[in-house]
Amino acid sequence: MIKQRASCILASLSLAAALAGCGPEKNGAEQASDQPNRAAVVTLSGASVKAIGLVTEKVTRKPFVHTFIIPAKVTANQDNEAQVGSLVSGRVCKVFVKTGDIVKAGQELMLVEGLEIGEIKAGFLSAKANLEYQKSNYERQKKLLEENVGAQKTLLETLNEFQKARAEYNAWKNKINAVELSVDDVTGDKDSLAEDRNSGTLAVKSPLSGIVVERNVVLGQFIEAATTAFKIVNLNSIWVESQIYEKDIGKINGKAPADFLATAYPHEPLSGKVTYIGQVIDEKTRTITIRAEFNNANGKLKPQMFGELRITDENTAAALTIPAEALVKIDNADFVFIQKEDTSFEKTPVTTGGAQNEFVEILTGINEGDAVVVKGAFYLKSELLKSLLGGE
DSSP structure string for 206-262: -SSSEEEEEE---TT-EE-TT---EEEE--SEEEEEEEEEGGGGGG--TT-EEEEEE
Please state the rounded mean pLDDT for residues 328-344: 90
When pLDDT is cut at 50, 70 and 90, the band that residue 55 belongs to is very high
The SS3 assignment for 334 reads strand
Q: What is the pLDDT of residue 78?
A: 92
Range name among 44-48, 145-149, 193-197, 204-208 with the lowest pLDDT average: 193-197
The SS3 assignment for 112 reads strand
DSSP string over 137-154: HHHHHHHHHHTT-S-HHH
Q: What is the pLDDT of residue 314?
A: 65
Q: What is the pLDDT of residue 221?
A: 95
Higher pLDDT, 265 or 318: 265
Q: What is the pLDDT of residue 36?
A: 35
Closest CA to 198 of 207, 189, 206: 189
Q: Exposed e or buried b for every residue in 29-52, given b needs 16+ CB within 10 A?
A: eeeeeeeeeeebbbebeeeebeee
Judged against a pLDDT cut of 50, whether residue 279 lies above it is answered with yes
Higher pLDDT, 250 or 229: 229
The SS3 assignment for 103 reads strand
Cα torsion 345, 347, 350, 356: sign:
positive
Judged against a pLDDT cut of 70, whether residue 316 lies above it is answered with no
Q: Which helix (H) or strand (E) holds 386?
A: helix 377-391
Instruction: Give 352: exposed, middle or buried? Use CB within 10 Å, 0-12, 13-18, 19+.
Output: middle
Distance separating alpha carbons of residues 303 and 315, to the nearest angstrom: 32
Q: pTM for the complete prediction?
A: 0.60
C-alpha 161 chain-centroid distance = 60
Distance separating alpha carbons of residues 378 and 345, to the nearest angstrom: 12
Q: What is the pLDDT of residue 259?
A: 93
Phi-psi region of 299 (alpha: psi -120 to 50; beta: other; left: phi over 0): left
Helices in 147-191 by DSSP H: which ranges?
152-178, 183-187
Specify which residues 335 forms β-bridges with: 328, 349
| Residue-wise pLDDT tens digits, 300-310 | 999 999 999 98
C-alpha 298 chain-centroid distance = 18
Range name among 152-166, 326-340, 377-391 with the lowest pLDDT average: 377-391
Phi-psi region of 34 (alpha: psi -120 to 50; beta: other; left: phi over 0): alpha
Q: What is the pLDDT of residue 315?
A: 65
Judged against a pLDDT cut of 60, whether residue 66 lies above it is answered with yes
Looking at the chain, the whole-number percentage of residues with pLDDT higher than 90 is 50
| Residue-wise pLDDT tens digits, 175-191 | 888 887 888 878 865 54
Q: What is the pLDDT of residue 21?
A: 43
Judged against a pLDDT cut of 90, whether residue 234 lies above it is answered with yes
Judged against a pLDDT cut of 60, whether residue 364 lies above it is answered with yes
Q: What contacts 125, CB < 8 A, 6 or more positions away?
A: 186, 187, 198
